[in-house]
């Protein structure tokens, strides 16, 4: 499936990846940031970059018509990042209920493929559990096992 090309910017303690969404609203620069929490735990965030101000916006909704391509690019970036840090635990949480649900839907859709390389957990209340397709979760934890 089609993905966008990306560029990596590694600096301690964070690593960032830049790519451009090309859709109905024109080109929109996007940034994936892996923020180091400590030990091997990283928060992964997706942000748009405002061309006029240079400000990162994690709440932007661009409706550029390329959601699948963006999410596949994000997945490829996650694979790239964890291939360099095999023990990394990646914490993912949508910043809105809608975005978090979108993440759950796409994780569920590709769960069989994901599980070939990763363990996936969902946060239900205050407890982590193995991700289930029909589960409702507040956040996700992805750990590379291969």
Digit-coded pLDDT (tens) for 82-118? 999 988 999 999 989 999 999 999 999 999 999 999 9
Residue 5 is predicted with a pLDDT of 97
Does residue 59 surpass a pLDDT of 90?
Answer: no
Q: How many CB atoms lie within 10 A of CB 135?
A: 15
**Closest by CA position to 142, among listed 109, 120, 122, 126:** 120
Tokens of 105: 């839907």
Query: What pLDDT, on the 0 to 100 scale, is given for residue 1?
Result: 82
Q: 32: which 2 tokens?
A: 């994936």
Question: How many angstroms separate the CA atoms of 60 and 49, rounded?
Answer: 9
Rounded Cα distance between 131 and 56, Å, is 30
Whether the full predicted model's pTM is greater than 0.85, yes or no, is yes
């Amino acid at each position: 499936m089609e993905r966008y090309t990306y560029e990596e910017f590694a600096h301690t303690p964070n690593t960032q990846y830049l790519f451009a969404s090309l859709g109905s609203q024109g080109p929109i620069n996007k940034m994936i940031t892996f923020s180091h929490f400590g030990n091997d735990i990283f928060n992964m965030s997706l942000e748009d970059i405002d061309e006029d101000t240079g400000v990162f916006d994690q709440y932007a909704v661009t409706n550029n018509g390329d959601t699948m391509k963006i999410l596949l690019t994000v997945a490829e970036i996650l694979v790239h990042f964890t291939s360099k840090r095999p023990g990394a635990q990646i914490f993912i949480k949508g910043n809105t209920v809608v975005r978090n649900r979108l993440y759950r839907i796409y994780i569920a859709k590709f769960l069989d493929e994901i599980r070939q390389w990763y363990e996936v957990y969902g946060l239900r209340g205050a407890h982590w559990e193995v991700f289930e397709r029909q589960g409702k979760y507040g956040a996700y934890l992805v750990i590379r096992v291969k």
